[in-house]
Amino acid sequence: MPLMLVYPIIASTSVKICSPFVVNWDYCCLTRRKLDHGLDKAMALEHLAQNLKLLCSYGRSVSDICRRLKINRQQFNRYLAGKSKPSLHTVRRICDFFGIEDHEIFLDHSDFLELIRLRPPRLDRSHNPLHGFFERLCQAPEQDLKDREKYLGYYFYYFQPDRLSGVIYRNLISLYQEGDVILSKQIERYPKSEFSLPSVMKHEGVVYAVSDRLVITEREEESGSSIWHSIFYATDYKRATFLSGISLGISPESAHEIVCARSLLEFLGRDIDVRDALAQCGAHNCDAPEISDYVQYCVSNDVPDSAAAMMPRY
C-alpha cells in the first residue's frame, strides 16, 4: 500500500497525495533544532577556547596556571583546543581564578576582547598576601589624587646625587597607564666609567597617590640592586609643568649607600621625540645653559640652619 503525504489546506479539509515517501514535519523541525543546537554548541566551545587562550596569555605559562588551578594539564589542553567543555564547577574555578564572571567566558570572542581590554584579568593571588597589599596600595581612593590622567606622559627627571660636585643629572621617565594602574619606566644615562656603572640603566616602577601626593616606587631592571622611592607635590593646574619632590633610595654603585636628595620632574608631553629627549639626558654642570636657575634651585641639597629637615622646593 503506498504511503500518503498529507498537505493541510484548511482546518477541516486536507488533500491526500500518493507518494512513496513520508514527510514528517515534526521530525524535520526537531532535526533542524538539533542541528542548530549542535552549531551553537560548537560555536560556544570555539569562543570558550579562544577566550581561555586570551586569559592564559596573562599568566606565566599554561603549566603554571594548571598547577595553581589544580586542573589536569591534558584536560585543560582539551578546553584550549575546543574539544571539551568544562563542568559548571570547573568553569567557576577558572573564572574566579581570572577574576571574571561565569557568563563572560562564553561571550563572542570579539566582545570578550573588548571586555579584557577595558578590564584586564587579575590572576588569583591568594597564595601571596603581599599581592593584596600592593594592589590596595596602587588603587588608592580617587580623592587621593584628582585627575590623575593629567600626569601621564614623559618627563625630564632632575636630581643632584652629590651636592659638592656641581653636577646635575637629567633622566627621562615615562608615566603610563595599564588597566587601573599607573606604571613608570625611567632611563638613566651615565658618562663612561662614571662610578663603574653601565652607560645606560633602566628602572621600572609603579605610581600611586597618597594625600594628594604623587608617589613613584622604582627598581633597577637588570640587577635589581637599586631601588628608589620618590614623592612629589601634585599640581592644581590642568596640565603638570614642574613637580618638585624628594627621592630616597639605594644607590646603584657597589657600596649601595642609602641616599636622599631633592628631585624635580619637568613635563615634556605625551607624544614626544623620545630619541631626541634621550640625547639631552645625562650629567650636566649646574651652570650649563640647559639647566635653568629654577632647576638648580629645586634640586640643590643644601639645608639651611633654620630648616628642621630637608624638604622639596617649589
The answer to whether residue 6 sits within a structural domain is no
The reply to whether 92 and 187 lie within a common domain is no
**Residue 149 shares a structural domain with residue 293:** yes
Three-class secondary structure assignment of the chain: CCCEEEEEEECCEEEEEECCCCCCHHHHHHHHHHHHHHHHHHHHHHHHHHHHHHHHCCCCCHHHHHHHHCCCHHHHHHHHCCCCCCCHHHHHHHHHHHCCCHHHHHCCHHHHHHHHHHCCCCCCCCCCHHHHHHHHHHCCCHHHCCCHHHHCEEEEEEECCCCCCCEEEEEEEEEEEECCEEEEEEEEECCCCHHHCCCEEEEEEEEEEECCEEEEEEEECCCCCCEEEEEEECCCCCCCCEEEEEEEEECCCCCCCEEEEEEEEEEEECCCCHHHHHHCCEEEECCCCCCCHHHHHHHCCCCCCCCCCCCCCC
Range of the domain at 64: 25-118
Res. 128 pLDDT band, cuts 50 70 90: low
Say if residue 235 is in the same domain as residue 86: no
pLDDT band at 196 (very low <50, low <70, confident <90, very high): low
Q: In terms of domains, do 154 and 29 share one? A: no
pTM of the model: 0.59
CATH number at residue 272: 2.40.160
Per residue in 229-273, pLDDT (tens digit) is 999 998 888 888 999 999 999 988 778 889 999 999 999 999 999
Pair (192, 97) in one structural domain: no
- Co-location of 36 and 167 in the same domain: no
217 shares a domain with 107: no
294 and 194, same domain (yes or no): yes
The number of distinct structural domains making up the chain is: 2
Say yes or no: 35 and 149 in one domain. Answer: no
**Per-residue model confidence as pLDDT tens digits over 32-60:** 454 445 556 677 788 899 999 999 988 88
Q: Does a structural domain hold residue 125?
A: no
pLDDT of residue 205: 93
> Looking at residues 276-291, what average pLDDT do you find?
92
CATH of the domain at 52: 1.10.260.40
